[in-house]
Amino acid sequence: MITVQVPEVVVLRLPLYVRALTQLADDGIEVVSSQQLGRRLQMTPAQIRKDLSYFGRFGKQGRGYKVEFLMRELGQILGLDRRWNTCLVGVGRLGRAIINYPGFAPEGFNILAALDSDLTQINTPVGDHLIVQPMGNLGAEIRRHEIVIAIVAVPAAQTQTVIDELVKSDIKGILNYAPVAPQVPMNVVLRNIDPVLSLQSMTYYLRDMLEGES
Please, are residues 89 and 154 in contact by the beta-carbon 8 Å criterion? Answer: yes
Mean pLDDT of the chain: 92
What three-state secondary structure class fits 95? helix
| Burial label, 20 (beta-carbon count in 10 A; 0-12, 13-18, 19+) | buried
Q: Which domains, from first to last, does the chain contain?
A: 8-77 (1.10.10.10), 84-196 (3.40.50.720)
Q: d(Cα 67, Cα 59) in Å, to the nearest integer?
A: 10
Q: What is the pLDDT of residues 100-130, one digit of tens each?
A: 999 999 899 999 999 999 999 999 999 889 9
**Residue 98: closest CA among 173, 166, 161, 177:** 177
**Residue 190: closest CA among 158, 167, 213:** 167
Q: What is the pLDDT of residues 51-104, one digit of tens each?
A: 999 998 776 666 889 999 999 999 999 999 999 999 999 999 999 999 999 999
Stretch 31-44: mean pLDDT, rounded? 94
Q: What is the pLDDT of residues 141-190, one digit of tens each?
A: 999 999 999 999 999 999 999 999 999 999 999 999 999 999 999 999 99
What letter represents residue 71's amino acid? Answer: M
Least confident of 7-11, 15-19, 163-167, 196-200: 196-200
Neighbour order of strands in the sheet with 64-66: 31-32, 64-66, 59-60
**Residue 10: closest CA among 58, 42, 52:** 52
What three-state secondary structure class fits 86? strand
Measured in residues, the chain has a length of: 214
Task: Please give the pLDDT value at position 85.
Answer: 97
Q: Which helix (H) or strand (E) holds 89?
A: strand 84-89
> pTM here?
0.88
Please, are residues 172 and 188 in contact by the beta-carbon 8 Å criterion? Answer: yes
What does the DSSP 8-state code read for residue 20? H
Predicted confidence band of residue 211 (pLDDT cuts 50, 70, 90):
confident
Task: Please give the pLDDT value at position 3.
Answer: 55
∠198-190-162 over CA atoms, to 5°?
105
